[in-house]
Amino acid sequence: MIIETVLIKNIEENKKNPLITFIVPVYNTREYLIETLDSISATKNKNIEIIIVNDGSSDESHNTILEWCSFKDIQLTYLKQENSGLSAARHSGIAIARGEYIGFCDSDDWIDVNQYLKMATRAIENFCDIAICRSVVFDNDTGQSYDFYDSWLWDDLLKNNPIRITSGIGEPKIFRLEPNANTRLIRRSFFLDNKIEFPNGLHYEDLPVHLQTLGLSDRVLLYGSTGYYYRVNRPGKITGEKSERRFDVLKSSEIAFQNLKIANQDAKGNFLLLTVRMIFWCGENTLNKDRNKFL
């Protein structure tokens, strides 16, 4: 795979590694891209860097990114590569990331960057390799927002506390949280030392990483504030379509269980509950002609 470094800004003059590196994979999301990038850069704190990875977009995303970068006085790198999928784009960013923690943001969603900075500070103070925040769903059709489906689980885990430090052994129910890499920060050294990878060429690629990171980490920070805003019901969104791509959840689940390194039965049971829910949801959204085959 050929990766082109299109632009680097303000890296050389900032010798100290940033607190957070945000990696933004981009594929044909020009209409939403500025809102995404503006949300990540909406802070006076200079302790972040942004790595934008254009994964072979065929729309005007490239020109939009270049124009946006020209107006920003922040640490950023813009990479361009042939279309290779979300996992490959994330790995391209991870390979050059400099931050203490790595965060991800899809290029049609947005974040509250100041909540992520607070979350990272709390994670460092409490020696946590992983920090997870709450998320909200934004309906692109109606303009309405609502808590993500796992809000009830967050309430149960936190019990009105603003944060909680736990682990997959201490609190197995954390395996049932939404397996979305975008709602969390992962310490870069933890990511690299444990050789954690998103499976290439598959959708639902966050599922194996969700299990592996929570299974390996002794200290996980649950951060009770909302940091991530997840857009639904937009044209072209993969998770909103009925297609053969739904079969990928079966392979991702298989990879996740193959990587299972935790012996705790409660943890295994809770992860199984999460996986069954995801498989059932994907099964409901297969094409009618594929339904029997999927089941």
Q: What is the pLDDT of residue 236?
A: 60
pLDDT in tens, 73-122: 999 999 999 999 999 999 999 999 999 999 999 999 999 999 999 999 99
Does residue 240 carry a pLDDT above 60?
A: no
Q: What is the pLDDT of residue 257?
A: 85
Task: Judge contact between 131 and 120, C-beta under 8 A.
Answer: yes
Q: What is the pLDDT of residue 54?
A: 98
pLDDT band at 295 (very low <50, low <70, confident <90, very high): confident
Task: Judge contact between 221 and 165, C-beta under 8 A.
Answer: yes
The distance of Cα 242 from the centroid of its chain, to the nearest Å, equals 22
What is the SS3 string spanning 163-224?
EEEECCCCCHHHHHCCCCHHHEEEEHHHHHHCCCCCCCCCCCCHHHHHHHHHHHCCCEEEEE
Q: What is the pLDDT of residue 4?
A: 94
The CATH-assigned architecture of domain 1-108 is Alpha-Beta Complex (3.90)
Segments making up each domain of the chain, as ranges: 1-108, 109-286
Give the C-alpha separation, 192 to 171, whole Å: 25
pLDDT in tens, 98-108: 999 999 999 99
Q: What is the DSSP letter of 1?
A: -
pLDDT in tens, 175-201: 999 999 999 999 999 999 999 999 999
Section 161-165 average pLDDT: 98
Section 167-180 average pLDDT: 94
Q: What is the pLDDT of residue 239?
A: 58
Average pLDDT, the chain: 93
Q: What is the pLDDT of residue 95?
A: 97
Section 251-266 average pLDDT: 83
**Long-range Cβ contact pairs of 119-122 (< 8 A, separation 24 or more):** 119/185, 119/221, 119/223, 119/225, 119/227, 120/19, 120/20, 120/185, 121/19, 122/163, 122/221, 122/223
Cα pseudo-dihedral 197, 199, 200, 204, rounded to 10: -130
Burial level of 218, CB count in 10 A (0-12/13-18/19+)?
Answer: middle
The encoded tokens of residue 84 equal 């290779």
Q: Are strands 220-232 and 75-81 parallel, antiparallel or unpaired?
A: unpaired
Q: What is the pLDDT of residue 241?
A: 63
Question: Which residues, other chains included, contact 76 with Cβ-Cβ below 8 Å and sequence gap of 6+?
Answer: 7, 8, 9, 10, 49, 50, 51, 52, 69
Q: What is the pLDDT of residue 204?
A: 92
Of the chain, the percentage scoring pLDDT greater than 70 comes to: 96
Give the C-alpha separation, 68 to 235, whole Å: 23
